Amino acid sequence: MTNSGNHMTADEFRRHGRTVVDWIADYMQRVEELPVLSRSQPGEVQAALPSAPPDEGEPFDRILADLDEVVVPGLTHWQSPNFFGYFPANTSGPSILGELVSAGLGVQGMLWSTSPACTELETRVLDWVVDLLGLPERFRSDGPGGGVIQDSASSATLCALLAARHRTGGGDARQMTVYASEQAHSSVEKAARIAGFAYDAVRFVQTDAAFAMDPRALNDTVAADVRDGFTPCMVTATVGTTGSNAIDPVGEIARVCRDHETWLHVDAAMSGTAGVCPEFRWLHNGVEAADSYCFNPHKWMFTNFDCDCFYVADREPLVAALSILPEYLRNNATVSGEVVDYRDWQVPLGRRFRALKLWFVIRHYGVEGLRRHVRRHVELAQQFAQWVQDDPDWELAVDPPLNLVCLRHRAGDAVTEAVLQRANATGRMFVTHTRLDGRYVIRVSIGQTHTEQRHVEQAWCLLRDSAAAVLAEP
Ligand SMILES: *Cc1c(COP(=O)(O)O)cnc(C)c1O
């Protein structure tokens, strides 16, 4: 049986749409039972798919059946409450529904005039987020600054660098230098490559015992580059590094930037969300001197990928760096200068209505609701860290500032690595690793939407049981 190849009618959409929403709700309920890390072998999913598309349309039920049979077994379940890998990439009911509405409307928000609501809702929600995280007022849109939603922190860092290069005078990017700590995210180096900087333009500044950037080392590196004829363009300070959650001293870094007239970008992709809780706002100390800032609601704020909030203190260099106005985009609103055209704040022209999902999330939870959940994740991580400290066989690699616990077995790297493999193979939890000071470290990132105390307890038990089994091996 095929469908007739016609468009889905509104009634069919209603029927299938209900089925899909039920399917997602069932997935939410059963995801905890599924093996967290996919057991799929390379090529297995492809082999289960036909090599050519269907000539005639297929019934919707058949498509859904393949979701269960082919797709789900090939998934690593990021939404499992037992997922502690990489970083949280949590989502929530209101976010998924906001995303659905965005797809249903299908508007392009490249210009204010292509959908005024798409721009103005985004501006308003990003101003809300300034209050929500206690960010500096200069990032609000009612002054020279403002915020925009990017697809990712990587794009935000690239846009910051393009704005910084513009402000530096638009000279030869191959003579310009970029700075970040040796623990900074790879997106800094990628941005420099894309923006046309020399491949060796990024200076990886030394970190201290807590893996945070050493501002004196930064100052020395910048001064040496200036002596050698380079133009320092941008420093990226990381608030919550990917490896260990280290927090660079933004205030001291800002002083170095001011002395050398260098753009300061703050990358808080993973940890910025903690600012919703007043007791964690120390995290943003010094950000008031930053030229730009970004964090990802798509990591730890219950908003599905993609959603990065990017702020600038002065939008002029950003827009100047990215604005090109061809005839076919000319319109009265743009020419009047009364409106924001977000196409000038990002790399692509087209843009989705991403503010909807963030608006749904903030309104659904409210400020207090978001606080409660973030606070709980941090509490669970701190409790986990205490268990590690109380166990003579294990040690913390760093004191966890927030919701990421980095630990290792005292018997050494080989044992720690074997424990991770063994624990992940149970399918009942998933953690990832890094190296800090050359030593193998298990990272336990706590921040999934439905992670509760019992999941964290189970993960700790599985790690200890795995260690016992590894050590008992001949
Ligand atoms: C995750 C992360 C990034 C990259 O985020 P994307 O949105 O995937 O580009 C950059 N910096 C830090 C500190 C991160 O944790």
* Below-50 pLDDT ranges, the chain: none
**From the CB of 78, is ligand 1 less than 6 Å away?**
no
**From the CB of 181, is ligand 1 less than 6 Å away?**
no
Task: Compute the distance from residue 94 Cα to the ligand 1 centre, in Å.
Answer: 23
**From the CB of 157, is ligand 1 less than 6 Å away?**
no
What pLDDT score does 2 carry?
61
Task: Compute the distance from residue 455 Cα to the ligand 1 centre, in Å.
Answer: 25
What pLDDT score does 332 carry?
86
Q: Model confidence over 102-150: pLDDT tens digits?
A: 999 999 999 999 999 999 999 999 999 999 999 999 999 999 999 999 9
What pLDDT score does 53 carry?
96
What is the 3-class SS of the chain, one letter each residue? CCCCCCCCCHHHHHHHHHHHHHHHHHHHHHHHHCCCCCCCCCCHHHHCCCCCCCCCCCCHHHHHHHHHHHHHHHCCCCCCCCECCCCCCCCCHHHHHHHHHHHHHCCCCCCHHHCHHHHHHHHHHHHHHHHHHCCCHHHCCCCCCEEEEECCHHHHHHHHHHHHHHHCCCCCHHHEEEEEECCCCCHHHHHHHHCCCCCCCEEEECECCCCCECHHHHHHHHHHHHHCCCEEEEEEEEECCCCCCCECCHHHHHHHHHHCCCEEEEECCCCHHHHHCHHHHHHHCCHHHCCEEEECHHHHCCCCCCCEEEEECCHHHHHHHHCCCCHHHCCHHHHHCCCCCHHHHCCCCCCCCCHHHHHHHHHHHHHHHHHHHHHHHHHHHHHHHHHHHHCCCEEECCCCCCCEEEEEECCCHHHHHHHHHHHHHCCCCECEEEEECCEEEEEEECCCCCCCHHHHHHHHHHHHHHHHHHHHCC
Q: Model confidence over 310-340: pLDDT tens digits?
A: 999 999 999 999 998 888 888 888 888 889 9
Task: Compute the distance from residue 184 Cα to the ligand 1 centre, in Å.
Answer: 10
Task: Compute the distance from residue 88 Cα to the ligand 1 centre, in Å.
Answer: 11
**From the CB of 271, is ligand 1 less than 6 Å away?**
no
From the CA of 239, give the closest atom in ligand 1: 13
Whole-structure pTM over 0.85, yes or no? yes
**From the CB of 269, is ligand 1 less than 6 Å away?**
yes
